[in-house]
Amino acid sequence: MMTNVQDTIEMYRKQNTDKARLLIKCPDQPGIVAAVSSFLVENGANIIESSQYSADPEGGNFFIRMEFHCPGLNLKREELEQSFVEISSKFDMTYEFRYVHDIKKTAIFVSKEPHCLMELLWEWQNGDLMMDIKCIISNYEDSKGLAESLGIPFYYIPANKDIRQQVEEKQLNILHEHGIELIILARYMQILTPHFVSHYPNQIVNIHHSFLPAFIGARPYERAYKRGVKLIGATSHYVTNDLDEGPIIEQGVERVNHRDNVEDMKRIGRNIERSVLARAIKWHIQDRVIVDGNKTIVF
C-alpha cells in the first residue's frame, strides 16, 4: 500500500516541478499587485492562480497568495528569491516562496479514538491529501496495526502529565530524525508544552471537539448537553501556548435537539471532526493559510 502512495507522490512531484506559490503579508498601499505580477512575468513565470485581501485599505494589512508556473524553476529558485528582496523591502513584506513539489513531511499524533486518523489516511491514500506521512506517534497502541498495514512507522510512547518532559524529548528526537514539517494532532489527548510548540510555530494543527470558543477544555459534549445547545461543532486550529486558543483554520457545525443524548452528540461530533480536520490540513498543505496574529486568512 505504501508503494502505491509513494508512486502517487512521485508523480505529483514530477508534474509540479515548475510550480510555486508566493505568500505575502504587508501594509496595504498602492502598487503591490502590479509590482509582484511584473516581477514574476519578468522572471518568465505565468500566474495561474491569484487571491488577495485587504484588512483595511487605510492602515490595514494586505495579503496575497499567488501560484505560478515557471519553466526551469528548480535552477532559478535561489536567483528568484534573491531578486525579490528589493520588492519586499520596498513594500515592507513578510513573504515566503513555497515550491509545490516539496511535499510536506508529516507526523500524525493520535490517542485512542481513531476516526480522525482514519479519515486522514483514507484521503492520503486517495491522493486528496498530498503529504508525506513519515510516522504516527501515539500514547496508546490501538492504531499500531493500522499504521503497520500501510507501512507507516508507528511509535508508541506512553504519556501523562508527570513524565511530559521526557515524553516530549523522545517525540522531538523522532520528529527531527524524520525532518518533520507538519504535525497533525488527530485527537491526541495530551497538552503540549511551550518548549515543544516553540519548535514548530504554525506547523502544529489540532482538531478540537467543540465549536470554539465555546466549551474549551475537556468533556465538551457533556457540558454542551447540559447546556441544551442546538448546534454542536468542531474547530481546527494551529497550536499555541494558549490552550485551544490558537489561530482558527476551519470550523463546522451540525444541528442537534433535545432528543440527542451525549452519545448521539459524540457520534455526530466525530463526523464533523473528521471533515473539519481534513479540510484544514488540505488548505495548510496547499499553502492557502496566512497567519495574522491570532487570526488566519484562508484563500
Residues labelled as active-site residues: 244
User: Measuring CA to CA, which residue among 262, 251, 252, 207 is closest to residue 229?
Assistant: 262
> Residue written as cell 514574476?
40
Residue 239, Cβ density class (10 Å: 0-12 exposed, 13-18 middle, ≥19 buried):
buried
> Cα–Cα distance between 153 and 133 in angstroms, integer?
9
How far are the Cα atoms of 26, 219, 295 from residue 88, in angstroms, in the given order? 9, 46, 23
The neighbouring-strand residues paired with 255 are 231
Residues 6+ apart with CB under 8 A from 234: 207, 208, 209, 210, 211, 251, 252, 269, 272, 273, 276, 277
